[in-house]
Structure 1
Amino acid sequence: MVSHGGTQDLKRSKYRLLGLVGQGQFGRVYCAIHRKTGRLVALKELDRRRFPTHKFLRELRFLLSLRHTNIVTCQALEHVQTRRYLVMDYCEGGTLRDLMQEERSLQPVHVVRLVLDVLAGLAHAHAQGIVHCDIKPENVLLRVTPTGWLAQITDFGIARLSQEIATLEGSNNTGSPAYMAPERFYGQYSPASDLYAVGVLLFELLLGRRPFSGPPSDLMSAHLNQSLVIPPEMPTEIAAVVRRSLQKLPGRRFPSALEMSQALQAAAIADGLMDLEDPGNLFRPQPARSLQPFQAAQEQVQWLPVQQIVVDQPRLVPSGPATPIGERIYWATGPMLSVQQFPQGIWSEAGGRTQQINVPEVVEAIAPQEQGILALTQQAAYSISRDPAQGWTVNRRVWLEPKALTAWEAQGRWLAMASPRPDQSAADLTIYDGPKLNHRHHLALKRSPQQLLAVDRHHGIAMATKREGDRPVGTTFEGFSRRGQHLGTLSTPLLIDRLVLTPKPYRLMATEQNQPQSLVILDLKPFRILRLSTPWVPAFMAAMTWGYILVSRAGEILLLDEVGREVGWIAGPPNPTAIAPIHPAGLMLATVEGSQSMLYTVDLRQLEIDLLF
């Protein structure tokens, strides 16, 4: 729930807020969805004290006149009782600065594509006599595409108005000194000033640092007087483009954004970069490195491969003193469900004995409950409870329809089942609610899903492939409540393969078809998509409070923090079949080798990784 001041008025507008996405010099920026059309927009709040009405309306005219693929378009103005907002295109990929903070750098071809996008947007604006005055990574927003990103320039007009306000206040130095052309320090600007900033961007994207650094006073001196030094690792022809764009005198730079764009494209081809139309992998490959040895705190031999693992962490007894009732591990091997309880915790030596429960069919999913377990097979959902006198009893609760998709809520409070219609174009969703799953709610889904997921106690999503004819063109996420209410649909052009829950509310991790060596972090509220690089295609994924665990088919275990930095890389056993996180710093790992299956408990605190637990 967004609770910032002034947003209460928006409850009566045509937009519903999904969350705060940024804070600019003139106000906050929100992600919102149109209540009727479902279209995502950015609402940019504008402070009346900084934007007097007459100046605001004059600049709004410029904003509305800029219509280009590489410019964030201003669609409308939204007035509420106490505030006003610009309704802008929404870019779910964040800013170029966010992308530049990745541990692994972009492939040069993707750098060129992003800079060409910026130049195309500037060419359109300059043709209308509009200079941006503050080109920097924070003012370049990204929309994700199947092959990378589309860059869009934001804050046109607003940046120029900032310059005008500063001039009236007696200051010539506005903008970001690290990207400012020499003449900008004297209050002068022209289209060549924007091209200088693009040259700084190109330099930084290729080398991971800017051509000049230091505090603002040193930056001013450097831009005015210091000679440019281009290291030899920069591609030769692209270096020539950078050198010309960073000339001290505006007249020695490229005459226009179009000519700089043409020169950059020719340089990329001459330097032998990959085909701009088929850019391949997003990130540069990592250098070879040694892996840490694998250490298991506990090992158990299994007679059949383990398909599912669930770790039930300590819960507090509802009444009485706040004492944990123990931790349990559940795992499924065919139709056999095993339960092991640890009264003093998983890492204690006092582990309870393993109990085994026979289920009529192969178990595909497990959901622990306060008084038992829910087990899902291809044909039915079973409730499993334990009686001290009679032992474990298995009761069928729901028959599942053939080819239906299902999803448990994490604690088994409700079950969702999607049954595709005969033409496969849509599906009927049935939600079984209540302690015995005896309450039903029905909902028609717009598309036949490929995965159902319960995102919290009350809500779920149906992920489906969006198609134009027979061609897949993206992925949709259709939200629903456990009471059968439709909550709207979000979409992305990425072809998402699978979703995994994370501990952070409304955050999911995923893989995608077109970029298999990347991890997608998907936030639903507000809607944001972040790509993290991986050295191989993840076979299994798990999320922790501190980051992410990825496991390859070869058994390598990669640990990433929340922003994608590598904190550990372990040479685990090959052929994993299932994993499950143990919060805050453990992992259950099942493998199979020939006729032998193993179940490992790994304490990450015992390994040499760059993370404090």
Structure 2
Amino acid sequence: MIKHFIPRSNYHILGQIGQGQFGQVYFAISRKTGEFVALKSLAKGFPTNRFLREFSCLVSLRHPNIVACEAIEYHGKGRYLVMEYCEGGTLRNLMNVSAELSLILCLDLITDILAGLEQAHQQNIIHCDIKPENILLSLTADKWIGKVTDFGIAKTVQDSSNDNLESGYTGSPAYMAPERFYGKYSYACDIYSVGIIFYELMIGQRPFSGLPGDLMLAHLNERIKLPNVVPQLLQDIIRKALEKLPQKRFLSAQSMIDAINIAKNKLNFNQEYTKLFTHINLSNLTPKLSEFTDFSLSEKINQIVNNNKNIYFATQNKVIKLSWELKKTEILNFNQSINKLIILSQGCLVLTQKPYNNTFQSLFYYLSENKPFQQVTPFFQLNTKILKFSCSFYEHWLATIYKTNKHGITAEFKILSLASLSLLNSPKFCPFPSQLIILDKRYGLALFPRFFQENKRTYLYLFNRRGHFLKGFSIPLLISELTPNKANPYELFSIETIKPNYGILININPFKITRISLEFIPNFIIGESWGYGLADTTGKLLLLDRNGDYIGKIDLNIRITAMTGLNENQLLIATWENETAKLFILDIDFAEKM
């Protein structure tokens, strides 16, 4: 009996990220290089020639503004196009944010699309389905780069002259040139589609709407209307791109780029124009704030953590435990300064530091809820001040990394079991990160921001509980600290180090980075099941959902010193006024926000 050998795929699929012309699109990682890729599958019954058509188009196109096709993958479960992975989502995602994109960003994105099309047109390829969903975004330190994708219904110049060409899969009526409805194709069709996107970026909506029949009549007969807020130079470009007759449009994508560049030089871009976003559309929410009764303190509360059973507060050298059900308060004094609290399912981890023999001594205390709340001895200590640590919420393991020499560039990395307080690995030496995060019972994440001349990147490496660093990845931004979401620790929020008026939402699986414009620089960030809460010390509060979309803002006009999520509908906020610390509960009315 002959057995057929089915080779193992070169890529490990991590999850589905979309639906393409041919079938599903998957997020995957290369088994050889560790690079992220997108795999476009061919659904059963779909014509193979269309699959191969896109492959043949893409392999002939190599350009920074076209999503690259790396290979075609055959294996036992099917066939895939192996595509470059773009972590910034689609242009449609960006256009849907509740913030106005700056004019210069809009012009740059249109130029990116046209540059990709110019390359395709030079290879005699007509895309035939240009729309925001088919423009993927790659993040840079300063903006996004637009990349044309999905050549599944692309035609060649030879196809356009073939009257017997098969019908169907014609594209998206909202972005189709008039002649497309009669089965005619040319480079000018793509120019027209770009003109629709340009109009949409300028106005916030497409020039024509309705059912496919309504759209066809509008594209054939209606003239566009542009308000005076659009500069006349740009109005002229949009009108020319959207001429009904193809011969009246720009002769090439490059000629439209040239017109945009001339307009850029003539327009006086002030500082507002050069921002990524010029205005944020935020709802002002009415605060529902109530003071936490029978609680006041003469010391400032610096940290709050909560595990839904007990709330722990930290002052400079006190930890206060508040039993939510029993309404009982207990206080534990320390002889050292409290550096950090980490909440656990059955207690709290406390890091304290004090001077010791010309250095510092870092002491770890475990405050278990199964034992009396009283003075405990440290279970672990390090003779250093320069360290990072993180612990699993369910108390499986603790990761620490520290410098024994403050001038050194390497650090000692250790993993401990909290149950047995024993080392799980032999100490390893590695570069010192800006943060360690335990994601779950198996994996953690280490951040390494690096700034070499003009190259700003942050490297993120997964590590396991045995202390082995796995293949990492990087982003073209500087971030130094991430806040995991309690509902999914693989969703993390951060603030750009160099541009702190931008928030960064990172979803590790599937890998996606969302840049969010902020009205203020937050001092406190929490990640809850409903989204993210950002606040500053003056009482300004911004609420975002899990996708990074704005829910609304609140101005509490109080001096905030710490904040945590209390439950799905409430935040607990510590304040400091008149030398007194107080606690407030903020009710969140989601029906009002949504």
Do they superpose with TM above 0.5? yes
Q: CA 1:17 to 1:487, structure 2 compared with 1: closer, same or farther past 3 Å?
A: farther
Q: Compute the displacement of 1:192 (Å).
A: 0.8
Tell me the equivalent position of 2:27.
31
Gap regions ≥5 residues in structure 2: 1-5, 354-361
2:368 and 2:219 map into 1 onto residues whose CA distance is 73
**Does 1:107 find its partner at 2:90?**
no
**Does 1:500 find its partner at 2:494?**
no
One-letter identity of the residue aligned with 1:338: I
What SS is found at the alignment partner of 2:299?
coil
**Does 1:228 find its partner at 2:224?**
yes
Residue deviations 1:554-611, cap 9 Å, x none? Answer: 2111222334443332221443221111220111112224633322222224x98424
Tell me the equivalent position of 1:570.
554
What SS is found at the alignment partner of 1:124?
helix
Aligned pairs (5 A) from 1:3-82: 12-47=8-43, 49-52=45-48, 56-57=51-52, 59-82=54-77
**Does 1:397 find its partner at 2:393?**
no
Tell me the equivalent position of 2:115.
120
One-letter identity of the residue aligned with 1:259: S
Q: Is the 8 A contact 2:98 2:282 kept in 1?
A: no
Q: Which of 281, 289, 301 is equivalent to 1:295?
A: 289
Q: Compute the displacement of 1:152 (Å).
A: 0.5
> Mean alpha-carbon deviation: is it higher for 142-151 or for 265-274?
265-274
Tell me the equivalent position of 1:346.
none
1:546 and 1:169 map into 2 onto residues whose CA distance is 50
Tell me the equivalent position of 2:414.
430
> Mean alpha-carbon deviation: is it higher for 552-561 or for 67-76?
552-561
Q: Is the 8 A contact 1:367 1:412 kept in 2?
A: no
Q: CA 1:545 to 1:169, structure 2 compared with 1: closer, same or farther past 3 Å?
A: farther
- Using structure 2 for the length normalisation, give the TM-score: 0.90
Q: Which of 164, 185, 202 is equivalent to 2:198?
A: 202
Give the percent of matched residue pairs that are identical in Structure 1 and Structure 2. 37
Q: Which of 452, 466, 482 is equivalent to 2:436?
A: 452
Q: Which of 540, 543, 551 is equivalent to 1:559?
A: 543
Q: Compute the displacement of 1:87 (Å).
A: 1.1
What SS is found at the alignment partner of 2:193?
helix
Q: Is the 8 A contact 1:294 1:571 kept in 2?
A: no
Q: Is the 8 A contact 1:75 1:87 kept in 2?
A: yes
CA RMSD, Structure 1 to Structure 2 (Å): 2.8
**Does 1:240 find its partner at 2:215?**
no
Q: Is the 8 A contact 1:385 1:393 kept in 2?
A: no
1:483 and 1:119 map into 2 onto residues whose CA distance is 49
Residue deviations 1:15-63, cap 9 Å, x none? Answer: 22232211112111112222232222111112353232x5644542331
> Mean alpha-carbon deviation: is it higher for 31-40 or for 133-142?
31-40
What SS is found at the alignment partner of 1:105?
strand
Q: Compute the displacement of 1:386 (Å).
A: 6.2
2:60 and 2:506 map into 1 onto residues whose CA distance is 33
Q: CA 1:239 to 1:57, structure 2 compared with 1: closer, same or farther past 3 Å?
A: same
Aligned pairs (5 A) from 1:131-210: 131-156=126-151, 158-160=153-155, 171=167, 174-210=170-206
Q: Compute the displacement of 1:536 (Å).
A: 1.5
2:159 and 2:507 map into 1 onto residues whose CA distance is 37
Tell me the equivalent position of 2:510.
526
Tell me the equivalent position of 1:355.
330
Residue deviations 1:419-470, cap 9 Å, x none? Answer: 34867554432111141422332465764211111112321100111343x6
Tell me the equivalent position of 2:341.
366
Aligned pairs (5 A) from 1:244-263: 244-263=240-259
Tell me the equivalent position of 1:283.
277
1:573 and 1:88 map into 2 onto residues whose CA distance is 50
Q: CA 1:242 to 1:592, structure 2 compared with 1: closer, same or farther past 3 Å?
A: same
Tell me the equivalent position of 2:402.
419
Q: CA 1:196 to 1:420, structure 2 compared with 1: closer, same or farther past 3 Å?
A: farther
One-letter identity of the residue aligned with 1:539: N
Q: Which of 448, 463, 467 is equivalent to 1:464?
A: 448
Q: Compute the displacement of 1:393 (Å).
A: 3.8
> Mean alpha-carbon deviation: is it higher for 285-294 or for 81-90?
285-294
Q: CA 1:37 to 1:496, structure 2 compared with 1: closer, same or farther past 3 Å?
A: same
1:164 and 1:27 map into 2 onto residues whose CA distance is 24
Q: Compute the displacement of 1:289 (Å).
A: 7.7
Q: Is the 8 A contact 1:374 1:381 kept in 2?
A: yes
Q: Is the 8 A contact 2:27 2:39 kept in 1?
A: yes
One-letter identity of the residue aligned with 1:309: I
Q: Compute the displacement of 1:135 (Å).
A: 0.3
One-letter identity of the residue aligned with 1:330: Y
Gap regions ≥5 residues in structure 1: 1-8, 314-326, 344-350
Q: Is the 8 A contact 2:12 2:31 kept in 1?
A: yes
Q: Is the 8 A contact 1:236 1:271 kept in 2?
A: no
What SS is found at the alignment partner of 1:395?
coil
2:315 and 2:165 map into 1 onto residues whose CA distance is 73
Q: Is the 8 A contact 2:330 2:373 kept in 1?
A: no
1:380 and 1:50 map into 2 onto residues whose CA distance is 63
One-letter identity of the residue aligned with 2:321: V
> Mean alpha-carbon deviation: is it higher for 93-102 or for 285-294?
285-294
1:368 and 1:421 map into 2 onto residues whose CA distance is 27
2:561 and 2:442 map into 1 onto residues whose CA distance is 30
How many residue pairs are counted as aligned between the two chains? 575
> Mean alpha-carbon deviation: is it higher for 128-137 or for 585-594?
585-594
What SS is found at the alignment partner of 1:284?
strand
One-letter identity of the residue aligned with 2:257: S
1:335 and 1:297 map into 2 onto residues whose CA distance is 24
One-letter identity of the residue aligned with 2:279: P
Q: CA 1:160 to 1:360, structure 2 compared with 1: closer, same or farther past 3 Å?
A: farther
> Mean alpha-carbon deviation: is it higher for 570-579 or for 251-260?
570-579
